[in-house]
Structure 1
Amino acid sequence: MGTSNDNQADQSGHSAEVGAELELDVTNVAHGGIFIARHEGRVVFVSDTMPGERVRARLTSASHKSFWRAETVEVLTEAPERQPHIWASAALERDPDDRAGGAEFGHIELGHQRELKRQVLADALKRMAGIESEVTVEPVQVGRNASPGDAADGTGWRTRVRLHVDEDGFVGPYAARSHRVIPVGDLPLADRLLEAAAPLDQRFKGAASVDVVAPSLGSVRVLVAEQDAAGKRRPTPRTLIREVVGEREFRLDAAGFWQVHTSAAETLYRAVQDTIDPDEFDPRAANLDLYGGVGLLAAAVGDRFGHDLRITSVESDAQATDFAAENLAEWVGASVQTSRVDRFLSGLVRDSSAAERARQNAATVILDPPRAGAGKEIIDQLGALGPRQIVYVACDPVALARDIALLAGHGYTLRTLRAFDLFPNTHHVESIALLSR
């Protein structure tokens, strides 16, 4: 039974209680892998469905004044794009509380998943930036260990999986929208070698998590993170791995950040090279690679524009910048800074000389922020520096649209936009935008 905070009178004066079941007509897709229906005028966000379906859904939250949340328990009228879920552990046949998270679009035909992602991106750009876009979401070729059928169903692509550990030591993904561990027998989104090596049937009593990593070169690594006295996750010991993009090799720590899809690093590497306007690029300018990680995108710029390139890669993770210094060593004009991006840019805005400002005005900036996006402070700092062009790599369409709107306030216009389906069978989409004054 719901508490008083879980009950809410709807706009017709009726009350609803968590656990109640409603019949809903689903009309649209929303950001975050959920879908929109209405119950007597009130918005209801529903999971495990899609536009065009009528479903029976169980109410999970009725405390918000403007919307409720619900989980599909039965499809009464199916959309033609519905397919059997690619992961039985996340399928509709399971109770919503026991469905594994991480494949929230797995019940939708792959081509239609891309159309829904396109709609979310286009809607965000229109609402937040006033931009009408005909962007499409491009498929990405599945990587090295996939079977011929994998490319058609969007499985076999994850090279990194984190398994969570419950109090009894059992491992698995979290249930959708919760922190409850769901033991599973397979990982269909995972690279096949990773799936085979994942210790799904083992127990890790007292551990915080188990990361399974399948690098381009070498064997699959299983990294067990222990808990400290406060129950927080301890860092795992440094484990060197090598990743290959085209003919270039990158060194990094197995627990460090790297793109998850088997083909994602090369896709973004090539896309950044193609997105930069060569007529606006000055290799001697104060070019920047912000949130640079281990140097993947700075190297993409270097391979595109040659060994005379000057570029500074900025990253707050000291271990990542150590590797970036190695990975970018062949470019004499490449430097690496261990710093928060906002602090680094603040120093440039505050301390740059007139000559340095001229080089900043001629610069190309590669901006690859975390999921929350760059945000107003960093956008304002970039606006003050005034680079010639900004290549924005985004993993969240709403954050991207917000930041494009903020950049417009500094005179920047969206010139090109591409989107890639780097996360099949999930709601996530990767975008690359070119902005210039």
Structure 2
Amino acid sequence: MATEDPTSKAASLVGQEYEVEVGSVAHGGHCVARTPEGRVLFVRHTLPGERVLARVTEGREDSRYLRADAVRVLTASKDRVPAPCPYAGPGKCGGCDWQHAKPGAQRRLKGEVLAEQLRALAGLTPEEAGWDGTVEPAPGDKLPPGEVPAWRTRVQYAIDEEGRAGLRRHRSHEVEPVERCLIAAETVTELGIERRTWPGIAGVEVAAATGSHDRMVVLTPRPGERLPLVELDRPVSVMRGEESRGRGGETPVHRVHGRAFVRERADGRTWRVSGGGFWQGHREAAGLLVDAVMRGLTPRKGEMALDLYCGAGLFAGALADRVGEAGAVLGIEASQRAVVDARHNLADFPRVRVEQGTVARVLPKTGITQADLVVLDPPRAGAGREVVTRIAGLGARRVAYVACDPAALARDLAHFRESGYEPRFLRAFDLFPMTQHLECVAILQPARGASTAQ
């Protein structure tokens, strides 16, 4: 939501400094404070209980609230540590929100945000949502303060006007050039993307398969520029860029590397994921989420299941394997590239089909009026009331909702409650260490006495 009217003639407060006491954490990677006049201030690079000098980065005299950075810490929290990354801090890279917090404190802050969103938007306490209040670290990520888990297997570098690779600054299109991203997996770092210049290139995307050296590099040239021949720092097969003409509104990209996909392993299967296709960025995420979803759904032989927003088919494949030859699975995905991957990945399941299009448009056209199980893994904005109402009308015995945004999750849980579904349990995972983000899996079931079939 915009903080100000672009036509307003009110004076800008950018650069104004306030000495403030910092209050609770808020959704978005910042904490809440108030100016001496009582105006709300969302402050980054601070922690609850601190006293800081906050410098306004966005806002005018008529703004409902202001955004600010903590440029000096006057009284530090016991949870504060020196940021391990030299690019973390006011005015620098916007990718990591909590580099200055101990790992345990990061998870606690994320848990507080999730609890508040559940209360405010879903009307649920953590207990009512079936959540014990913990945010679980991924295997291998529970490290001492000062050590950073190199978890990120997918990195999108922005390229500045001088051809330097970097990452975007917070709420900005400006590029912060970096020599190394600490949270990037070693198989990404060793390609040397940050150590060379990229004239004529707007972006470089790297995808590194978990547990192998299977990697893909995708280049997006600037408008009107020709793609150069690229040599990377590691011995990978390199080819002159080949255009992949996107359809359905997808951005055309150019690729260098031997092929336009990587092979991932999860749930005992190999998954092809093309450039521009979705796969969880954390090296452990796919396995953790499949396990949580399948444990929650307890699929049975012969059941009918839906995988909505199915991507490359991860959950659809896991469901198909468990419902067996007598069961059936339908996947729906908007991205044409992802649908091609999903159909390839699921070709050995004769009772699985994947349809291309938005869930809101395709689901009503399938003719399906009943399902036993539903998995939905919507984009950050969530599924929305229309889709939730239609899912609830299928009368599924259980629904698994995979969410990367706690506010969207809470809003959709409220819609499910209106449609007769209640949470059975919820788990939260810290699959984005050093950032504000977390991943949740909520398992829902029909409320007692509720009639869900429509």
**For residue 12 of structure 1, what is the aligned residue in structure 2?**
none
- Rounded to whole Å, the distance in 1 between the matches of 2:312 and 2:302 is 22
Whichever residue aligns with residue 327 of structure 1, its letter is: N
Q: Which residue of 1 aligns with 2:309?
A: 291
Counterpart AA for 2:50: E
Please report the RMSD computed on the Cα atoms of aligned residues, expressed in angstroms: 2.4
1:236–1:255: 8 Å Cα contact kept in structure 2? no
Report how far residue 150 of structure 1 moved.
8.1
CA deviations on 1:127-146 (whole Å, 9 max, x unpaired) are 11111103310010138xxx
Which amino acid in the other structure matches residue 334 of structure 1? V
CA distance in 1, matches of 2:398, 2:19: 50
Q: Any conservation in 2 of the 1:46–1:69 contact (CA below 8 Å)?
A: yes
CA offsets per residue over residues 161-218 of structure 1, 9 Å max, x none? 1110122222200112211011111110011121121311222222120012211333
Match status 1:85 vs 2:83: yes
Q: Is residue 2:100 matched to residue 1:101?
A: no
Q: Is the 8 A contact 1:28 1:36 kept in 2?
A: yes
The normalised TM-score by structure 1 is 0.87
The residue that corresponds to 1:211 in the other structure is 205
Within 2, Cα distance between the matches of 1:219 and 1:111? 32
Match of 1:303 in 2: 321
Partner of 1:424: 433
* Per-residue deviation, residues 217-237 of structure 1 (Å, max 9, x unmatched): 334332211134599963234
Deviation at 1:5, TM superposition (A): 4.8
CA contact (8 A) 1:57 1:73 kept: yes
Question: Which position in structure 2 is the counterpart of 1:347?
Answer: 365
Quick one: which amino acid aligns to residue 76 of structure 2? E
- Listed one character per residue, the Cα deviations across residues 381-422 of structure 1 (whole Å, up to 9, x for unaligned) are 223333332100000000000000011111111111000000
> Please, which runs of 5 or more residues in structure 1 have no aligned partner?
9-15
1:65 Cα deviation after fit:
3.6
Q: Quick one: distance in 2 between partners of 1:240 and 1:4?
A: 46
The answer to whether structure 1 residue 48 and structure 2 residue 48 are counterparts is no
Q: Which residue identity is paired with 1:242?
A: R
Q: Deviations over 1:307-347 (max 9, x none)?
A: 43311011112221122112122322111111211111232
Equivalent residues of 1:272, 1:300 under 8 A apart: no
Equivalent of 2:390 in 372, 375, 381: 381
Judging changes above 3 Å, is the alpha-carbon distance between structure 1 residues 153 and 304 closer, same or farther for their aligned structure 2 residues?
Answer: farther
Give the partner amino acid of 1:75.
V
Identify the residue that residue 174 of structure 2 maps to in structure 1. Answer: 180
Q: Is the 8 A contact 1:413 1:436 kept in 2?
A: yes
Partner of residue 165, structure 1: 159
The alignment status of 1:221 with 2:230, answered yes or no, reads no
The answer to whether structure 1 residue 122 and structure 2 residue 115 are counterparts is: yes
The aligned amino acid for 1:27 is G
Cα–Cα, structure 1 residues 377 and 332, in superposed 2: closer, same or farther, change >3 Å?
same
Corresponding residue number in structure 2 for 1:66: 64
Moved more, 238-247 or 101-110: 238-247
**How far off is 1:247 after superposition?**
2.6
Q: Size of the alignment, in residue pairs?
A: 407
Match of 1:33 among 19, 29, 34: 29
Tell me: CA distance 1:62–1:255, structure 2 relative to 1, closer, same or farther (3 Å): closer
Q: What is the aligned counterpart of 1:269 among 265, 290, 296?
A: 290
Aligned counterparts of 2:329 and 2:145: Cα–Cα separation in 1: 36
Matched, 1:245 2:266: yes
Distance 2:425 2:146 in 1: 28
* CA-CA distance at 1:73 after TM superposition: 0.5
Report what 2:344 is aligned to.
326
TM-score by length of 2: 0.84
Match of 1:405 in 2: 414
Deviation at 1:305, TM superposition (A): 3.7
Q: Amino acid of the residue matched to residue 32 of structure 1?
A: G
Spell out, residue by residue over 1:278-320, the C-alpha distance to the aligned partner (whole angstroms, 9 max, x if none).
3xx5544441000001111112223344343311011112221
Mean Cα deviation higher: 416-425 or 199-208: 199-208
- In structure 1, how many angstroms separate the alpha carbons of the residues matched to 2:358 and 2:333? 6
8 Å contact from structure 1 (residues 218, 241) kept in 2: no
Distance 1:150 1:197, change over 3 A: farther
SS for the counterpart of 1:163 is strand
CA distance in 2, matches of 1:5, 1:203: 41
Q: Distance in 2 between matches of 1:48 and 1:407?
A: 36
2:129 is aligned to none
Q: In structure 1, what residue type is equivalent to 2:93? A: A
Change (3 A) 1:300 1:4: closer
Q: Which amino acid aligns with 1:322?
A: V
Is contact 1:291-1:313 (8 Å) kept?
yes
Does structure 1 conserve the Cα–Cα contact (< 8 Å) formed by 2:153 and 2:282? yes
Cα separation, 1, equivalents of 2:64 and 2:169: 26
| Aligned CA distance change for structure 1 residues 152 and 17 (closer, same or farther; 3 Å) | closer
Structure-2 residue corresponding to 1:11: none
Q: 1:308, 1:32 → 2: CA distance?
A: 45
Alignment of 1:139 with 2:157, yes or no, is no
1:290/1:246 CA distance change after superposition, 3 Å: closer
Q: Between Structure 1 and Structure 2, which shows a larger proportion of helix residues?
A: 1
Which residue is equivalent to 1:57? 54
Partners in 2 of 1:366 and 1:394 — Cα distance?
11
The alpha-carbon deviation at position 274 of structure 1 amounts to: 1.0
Question: In structure 1, how many angstroms separate the alpha carbons of the residues matched to 2:40 and 2:327?
Answer: 52
Counterpart Cα distance in 1 of 2:221 and 2:350: 40
Name the stretch that deviates more: 43-52 or 126-135: 126-135
Structure 1 counterpart of 2:378: 369
The 1:103–1:213 alpha-carbon spacing in structure 2 relative to 1, beyond 3 Å, is same
Contact 1:165 1:208 in 2 (8 A): yes
Q: Which is further off, 368-377 or 244-253?
A: 244-253
The whole-number CA distance in structure 2 between the counterparts of 1:334 and 1:36 is 48
Distance 1:179 1:308 in 2: 51
In the alignment, is the contact (CA less than 8 A) between 2:19 and 2:54 conserved in 1?
A: yes
